[in-house]
């Protein structure tokens, strides 16, 4: 079993509540709020824990909110290393409108980082990683962290035989594609893939062709494109596969990507093949859509749905 480390540079305390109706003007009386630890890498570690695995989370924390987030991680049984930062860890706020069923999500930017903090974080990660580990970099960059963080992380870990899995978006994703550095796995959703391609990717074959181009250019050894309810496409130098989601009911799409990455990384850590990791990731993503917005996948649902996650060659 390979060690798994998740990296969260911009974690958050996720506050969620509900009101009868969201409208401007009057005070809106909210339900008792719920607080969860959040941020891409943290959610990946939470999914791994829910699925019966273990990981070590590298989490940048600052201020009183950072202390609260650390307590939430302890409560959930997540092992973590704290990287102290100046400023206050962010909070995110989600309000569900019961009248419409819609959810309004307010996401704060996070504390400002200096370039010295970036260098210190890379050094701390490099000093912590065991040889042959799986390293998952997931989520947004806080202000001040340059777009080239993922390539710099990959370069820092090159001598450790670690495999780097990246799930990011926006300018950091664009930089990674424009400056290939040969990470192990790159995951993106269909909208992000279409933005990078500059045109619609209307079916699985077109998505696979775009992913194959990224692999040929050396962006990543394996590229995964999540296609929402249709499942996920995986392309490497030796295979092109699609795994469809075996469920049509959707309670909430929140946490689906993090559940996929957590199950995918856990399967690889257990020395399963890429194709089996794709199936396990798809099963966890399918399980996640069956839970409310504040929850990730459940182990019971993921195991039940796994048999319905069939692979198709592209």
Q: Nearest 5°: phi and psi at 82?
A: -90, 130
- Three-state DSSP at 142 gives coil
Judge whether 14 counts as a catalytic residue. no
Tokens 């206050």: give the residue: 88
- Three-state DSSP at 229 gives helix
Per the CB < 8 A criterion, the answer to whether 232 and 281 are in contact is yes
- Three-state DSSP at 255 gives coil
User: 79-84 and 12-19 as β-strands: parallel, antiparallel, unpaired?
Assistant: unpaired
Helix/strand/coil percentages in the chain, nearest 5: 40, 25, 35
CA 259 to chain centroid: 8
Per the CB < 8 A criterion, the answer to whether 214 and 192 are in contact is no
Supply 164's token pair.
Answer: 């780097």
**Catalytic residue selected from 14, 189, 258, 301:** 258
Q: DSSP alpha helices (H): ranges in the chain?
A: 40-50, 63-75, 115-128, 149-156, 170-178, 190-197, 204-216, 256-269, 274-288, 299-305
Instruction: State whether the Cα torsion 170-138-220-261 is positive or negative.
Output: negative
Give catalytic residues, as residue numbers: 258
């Amino acid at each position: 079993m390979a060690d798994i480390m998740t990296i969260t540079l911009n974690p958050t305390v996720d506050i969620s509540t509900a009101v009868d109706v969201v409208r401007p003007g009057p005070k809106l009386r909210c339900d008792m709020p719920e607080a969860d630890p959040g941020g891409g890498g943290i959610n990946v570690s939470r999914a791994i824990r829910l699925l019966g695995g273990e990981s070590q989370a590298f989490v940048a924390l600052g201020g009183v909110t950072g202390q609260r987030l650390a307590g939430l991680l302890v409560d959930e049984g997540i092992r973590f290393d704290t990287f102290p930062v100046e400023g206050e860890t962010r909070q995110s706020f989600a309000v569900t409108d019961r009248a419409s069923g819609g959810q309004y999500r307010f996401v704060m930017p996070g504390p400002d980082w200096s370039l010295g903090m970036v260098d210190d974080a890379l050094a701390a990660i490099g000093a912590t990683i065991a040889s042959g580990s799986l390293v998952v970099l997931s989520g947004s960059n806080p202000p001040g962290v340059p777009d080239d963080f993922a390539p710099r992380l990959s370069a820092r870990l090159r001598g450790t035989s670690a495999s780097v899995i990246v799930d990011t978006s926006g300018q950091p994703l664009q930089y990674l594609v424009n400056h290939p550095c040969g990470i192990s796995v790159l995951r993106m959703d269909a909208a992000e893939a279409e933005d990078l391609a500059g045109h619609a990717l209307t079916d699985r074959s077109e998505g696979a062709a775009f992913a194959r181009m990224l692999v040929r250019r050396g962006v990543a050894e394996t590229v995964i494109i999540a296609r929402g309810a249709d499942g996920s496409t995986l392309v490497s130098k030796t295979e092109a596969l699609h795994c469809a989601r075996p469920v049509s009911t959707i309670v909430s799409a929140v946490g689906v990507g993090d559940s996929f990455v957590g199950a995918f990384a856990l399967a690889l850590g257990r020395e399963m093949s890429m194709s089996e990791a794709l199936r396990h990731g798809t099963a966890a993503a399918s399980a996640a859509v069956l839970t409310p917005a504040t929850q990730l996948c459940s182990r019971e649902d993921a195991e039940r749905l796994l048999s319905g996650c069939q692979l198709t060659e592209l």
